[in-house]
Amino acid sequence: MKIGIVGAGAIGMLFGAYLSQAKHEVTFLVRDINLNNRLYIEKDLNSTEQIHCNLANNMELLHSMDLIIIAVKYHHLNKLKADLDRLPVQIPLLFIQNGLLHLKFINQLNQHHIAVGSVLHGATKVNSNTVRHLGVGITTIGVYKGRYKMTNEFIQSSSSDFPLEITNDIEKVVLRKVVLNCLINPLTTIAQVPNGELVNNESFHTIMRNIYEEIIEAFGEDFVELSWDAVVLLCEKTKNNRSSMLTDYENDRVMEIDTIVGALIGEAKLRNKRLPILHTFYLLLTEMNRVGEDHH
């Protein structure tokens, strides 16, 4: 397949690397065309593999793609809107953001077929050419709009390091992931620790458990469908990763606070519930959210 990826960040490059290894032709839409089109993925300290890909700096060059994956942060989406509106409406799109607010953005698009993915990998971009894969996790994909089914050709790209699965209820999976991100991202950012510390350090473990309990109390166990064991497992599997929110904070970039933390607090409010600990974190993070170069 010819696959376009908008955004050569941590997750965009990770997807590009594995899809290219699965023999797809990958083209990244990037803002800086002077980037080198040799990209590297570090799977562990001893193995670095080169990704074969093309680079484009104009969405029109993606008009012949079989699928376009949107791998930018939530707050980058508005700037892409005009370009997305000009895309042929039959090209399927796959959005892989954390959080909830991108679903509202997707509802405004004219595209006939839109899928949404929830990503449990941990990945960090080390420099403009290199992504480090710091935790293997599953990517769950479901149709959000239209009838597009991910083709076998795409699903067959699944491998042990890049597992893919399909769901019939992507909204539930996205909600479960936003809860995971509310447990991991704010605390790792405020404490400035990698994900594994949330289970290794007793104080962080207790704080995370308290937030977990207030979320379960507000939404009910059945609605969230997330066991404590699954939370611990994600922290362990991505133990060396610095969460995407912490990475943004450390690089003076805008953090995805509203689409992750604000959105879950909003969902609780709709049920007349409060999330006091998470709300405190929300306020702290908002104060920390220094305006970075890409405050869109």
Ligand X SMILES: CC(C)(CO)C(=O)C(=O)O
Ligand Y SMILES: NC(=O)C1=CN([C@@H]2O[C@H](COP(=O)(O)OP(=O)(O)OC[C@H]3O[C@@H](n4cnc5c(N)ncnc54)[C@H](OP(=O)(O)O)[C@@H]3O)[C@@H](O)[C@H]2O)C=CC1
Binding site for ligand X (CB under 6 A): 98, 120, 122, 181, 184-185, 195, 238, 241, 243-244
The listed partner (ligand Y, ligand X, none) that binds 184, CB under 5 to 8 Å by sort, is ligand X
Write the CB contacts of 147 (distance below 8 Å, at least 6 apart in sequence).
113
Number of residues that bind ligand Y (CB under 6 A): 30
Task: Find the shortest distance in angstroms from Cβ 53 to ligand Y.
Answer: 14
Q: Under the criterion CB under 6 A, does residue 237 sit at the interface with ligand Y?
A: no
CB 182, CB 264: distance < 8 Å: yes
Options 76-84, 165-173, 216-224, 264-272: segment touching ligand Y (CB under 6 A): 76-84
Among residues 179, 259, 244, 191, the alpha carbon closest in space to that of 10 is found at 244
> Which residue number, 9 or 122, has a Cβ lying nearer to ligand X?
122
> Which residue number, 95 or 154, has a Cβ lying nearer to ligand Y?
95
Instruction: Read off the tokens for 23.
Output: 């023999």
The count of residues in the chain is 296
| Helix (H) or strand (E) segment spanning residue 27 | strand 25-29
Number of Cβ within 10 Å of residue 284's Cβ equals 14
With CB atoms as reference, the residue minimizing the distance to ligand Y is 9
The residue from 97, 140, 157, 189 that contacts ligand Y (CB under 6 A) is: 97
Q: Under the criterion CB under 6 A, does residue 51 sit at the interface with ligand Y?
A: no
Instruction: Tell me, rounded to whole angstroms, the distance of Cα 77 from its chain centroid.
Output: 13
Q: Under the criterion CB under 6 A, does residue 10 sit at the interface with ligand Y?
A: yes
Among residues 68, 71, 69, 124, the alpha carbon closest in space to that of 97 is found at 71
Q: What single DSSP character describes residue 260?
A: I
Options 73-81, 191-199, 261-269, 275-283: segment touching ligand Y (CB under 6 A): 73-81
Q: Under the criterion CB under 6 A, does residue 31 sit at the interface with ligand Y?
A: yes
- CA dist., res. 256 & res. 244, Å (int): 9
Q: Under the criterion CB under 6 A, does residue 9 sit at the interface with ligand Y?
A: yes
> Which residue number, 122 or 142, has a Cβ lying nearer to ligand X?
122
Options 23-31, 62-70, 195-203, 267-275: segment touching ligand Y (CB under 6 A): 23-31
The listed partner (ligand X, ligand Y, none) that binds 195, CB under 5 to 8 Å by sort, is ligand X
> Which residue number, 14 or 84, has a Cβ lying nearer to ligand X?
14
The listed partner (ligand X, ligand Y, none) that binds 73, CB under 5 to 8 Å by sort, is ligand Y
The β-bridge partners of 291 are: none
Task: Find the shortest distance in angstroms from Cβ 11 to ligand Y.
Answer: 4
Instruction: Tell me, rounded to whole angstroms, the distance of Cα 270 from its chain centroid.
Output: 25
The listed partner (ligand X, ligand Y, none) that binds 12, CB under 5 to 8 Å by sort, is ligand Y
> Which residue number, 11 or 26, has a Cβ lying nearer to ligand Y?
11
Residue 148 Ramachandran class (φ > 0 left, ψ -120 to 50 alpha, else beta): beta
CB 96, CB 15: distance < 8 Å: yes
CB 235, CB 195: distance < 8 Å: yes
Instruction: Read off the tokens for 150.
Output: 């991910």
The β-bridge partners of 116 are: 95, 142
Binding site for ligand Y (CB under 6 A): 6-12, 29-32, 71-74, 76, 79-80, 96-98, 119, 121-123, 125, 241, 244, 256, 294
